[in-house]
Amino acid sequence: MTATTPSSDAPLRTPARGRVVLIGAGPGDPGLLTQRGHRVLADADVVVYDRDVARLLTLARADAERIEVGAPAEGATAQDAIAMLVAEKARDGQLVARLKWGDPFLFGSGAKEALFLHEQRVPFEVVPGVPLAMGAAYAGIPITYPGGQDALIFLRGHESAGDAPPDVDWHALASLDGTIASYTNGRQAAAMLTLLMKHGRRATQAGALIYAGTLPQQETITGTLAELVAAAEAREGAALLIVGDVAQLRDHLGWFDRRPLFGKRIVVTRSRDQARDLVEMLESLGAQAIEAPTFRLIPADDPETIDRVAASVDQYAWVVFESANAVSRFFKSLLNGTRDLRALGGVRVAAIGPSTADRLLGVGLHPDVVVPESGTEATMRALEAEGALSGARILVVRPHHDRSDHGRSDAVRETLAAELGRRGAHVTDVIAYRTTAGAPESAAAQVLYRQLLDGRVHAVTFTTPTAVQRFVDLIGRDQAADLLNQTVVVAIGPVTAAAAAALGIAAPRVAEPFTVDGMIATLVTALR
């Protein structure tokens, strides 16, 4: 046993920056990233990532530099270049997250990159990840089981970036009573299975091939080893190969691909900040959520206005919040100033939409009124049910929706403040932030259009009339109705459904109740 101590000539650096953290991203599902990995990724100045873990970039800082370095298994020259890249970024005083598929030290190049950093005297850390083989649990296959097959063998496969089977003692491997797990491609898997049977493994033993493991596209093929040879040869793409009797337990333990929305591609048209809850709920039920790039949030033209009204909020009888992001922007101003939540002690609060109400609950406020869906008439009825509005000072905190098509104004949202004024209220109408339309020519918009055109979208969801309009602008006014009429469309309420119908969408379904939970229930019923 030996102990190591830091060398006296080790470079002195700031603990937080000027270093590289190799992070294991796990087998695919972003939810399998460790908490430590998540914290580092959210703090990093630079993210250097394998192509197969790009979906985790939503967890990185918005202003972080993102550098994609190809597939997890690259040649030696490419790996040397990657190691030099991350070392240089760290020498510039930046915190570098090196995001790697699976676990950095299991068959990947993580150890080689770490050794290079050590030789270059660049500080580094390693955050382990869930190994790819452990993703078999998503297929209902435990890679070990009490009372049998006490050995577990991880076998290098596709990580070597070739089709040849690994150079091992196949006779010894075949004779060992245990489970074999290998991430492999079709021809390689067929060759491995053939070698195992040639050297003594039963052709009738159970096994499995798991494609796109832990993701909504996951597909699992089970059968005997002889049957899996033909299955592997018949298709392209890499898969997790499991050899062992444990594969028989899938019939009893399968859960991931038996969820009610498994494999369904569902488009979410909310802004990224607001879409997170809906996306997480859809994915928890097995769907593949596709975030349509319909909105971008940008600051208000006069961001100091909301700071001023937040400082004097106790002068109002009502504050009406029209969106969840309006809540966040208002309370950022309030709490960054000299006031706190006590300033709203005598003020009544209204939330338009359940997500707005949830955001208020998140900051510790129970709204006095929750309007199920955006709409002037519904909001007026809800406020007037609480008492006369004439003479009342009312603050409306809302977004402004910039329009790219011929400069049309934000008339729908401005109607609420105008209607309150007509009924005698003294209204302060404050824009908390602006939204602007996504670009139809963007790569994301083009991919979405192609998926709709090919019939690969199972449903599209809308939570506001503005989202309907933005989606039509993104896809193209002439094509949108035709494409949406070929899939399931779910609106959060009748106002949004009416906006969809006005644009030619024939039969939008209305969530019941008018909440995100209601949308989920409606989707399950419609797509079952």
CATH number of residue 63's parent domain: 3.40.1010.10
Q: Which long-range contacts (CB under 8 A, 24 or more apart) does 9-13 make?
A: 10/121, 11/121, 11/123, 13/123
Per DSSP, what are the bridge partners of residue 266? 289, 459
Same domain, 288 and 306: no
Q: Give the Cα separation of 212 and 132 in Å (integer).
A: 11
CATH number of the domain enclosing 451: 3.40.50.10090
Q: Which of 437, 452, 480 is the last residue of a domain?
A: 437
Same domain, 188 and 284: no
Structural domain boundaries, residue 327: 297-437
Same domain, 177 and 250: yes
Record the pTM.
0.78
Same domain, 235 and 138: yes
N-term to C-term CA, the chain: 60
* Lookup: tokens for 376: 């002037």
By the 10 Å C-beta count (0-12 exposed, 13-18 middle, 19+ buried), 376 is classed as middle
Same domain, 303 and 198: no
* Lookup: tokens for 198: 């040639």
Q: Which of 130, 146, 164 is the last residue of a domain?
A: 130
Same domain, 275 and 325: no
* Lookup: tokens for 466: 């503005």
Residue 3 lies in a domain: no
Per DSSP, what are the bridge partners of residue 68? 49
Residue 117 lies in a domain: yes
Residue 6 lies in a domain: no
Same domain, 426 and 452: no
Q: Give the Cα separation of 90 and 97 in Å (integer).
A: 10
Same domain, 452 and 511: yes
Domain count, the chain: 4
**Order of all β-strands in the sheet with 348-352:** 295-299, 426-437, 393-401, 318-321, 348-352, 369-371
Short-list 72, 452, 460, 31, CA closest to 216: 31
Short-list 101, 149, 98, CA closest to 122: 98
Same domain, 470 and 431: no
Q: Which of 82, 98, 130 is the last residue of a domain?
A: 130
Residue 327 lies in a domain: yes
Question: Do residues 512 and 518 touch, judged by C-beta distance below 8 A?
Answer: yes
Residue 12 lies in a domain: no
Same domain, 400 and 449: no
Phi and psi angles of residue 457, each rounded to the nearest 5 degrees, phi first: -110, 125
Same domain, 419 and 463: no
Residue 11 lies in a domain: no
- List all residues 6 or more positions away from 526 whose beta carbon is below 8 Å from its beta carbon: 459, 488, 490, 509
* Lookup: tokens for 510: 């209305």
List the pLDDT tens digit at each of the 528 positions of the chain.
444 444 444 433 345 689 999 999 999 999 999 999 999 999 999 999 999 899 999 899 989 999 999 876 555 668 889 999 999 999 999 999 999 999 999 998 899 999 999 999 999 999 999 999 999 999 999 999 987 678 999 999 988 767 789 999 999 999 998 999 999 998 999 999 999 999 999 999 999 999 999 999 999 999 999 999 999 999 988 999 999 999 999 999 999 999 999 999 999 997 666 677 788 899 999 999 998 888 778 889 998 999 999 999 999 999 999 998 999 999 999 999 989 999 999 999 999 988 899 999 999 999 999 998 878 999 999 999 999 999 999 999 999 877 544 333 344 445 899 999 999 999 999 999 998 878 888 888 899 999 999 999 999 999 888 889 889 988 888 899 999 999 999 999 999 999 999 999 988 999 998 888 999 999 999 998
Q: Give the Cα separation of 368 and 372 in Å (integer).
A: 13
Residue 8 lies in a domain: no
Residue 448 lies in a domain: yes
Q: Give the Cα separation of 81 and 502 in Å (integer).
A: 55
Q: Give the Cα separation of 223 and 200 in Å (integer).
A: 18
For residue 77, the model assigns a pLDDT of 64
CATH number of the domain enclosing 205: 3.30.950.10
For every residue of 76-139, DSSP letters joined together read HHHHHHHHHHHHHHHHTT-EEEEEESB-TTSSSSHHHHHHHHHHTT--EEEE----GGGGGGGG
Report DSSP state, residue 515. Answer: S
* Lookup: tokens for 49: 């990532």
Same domain, 87 and 161: no
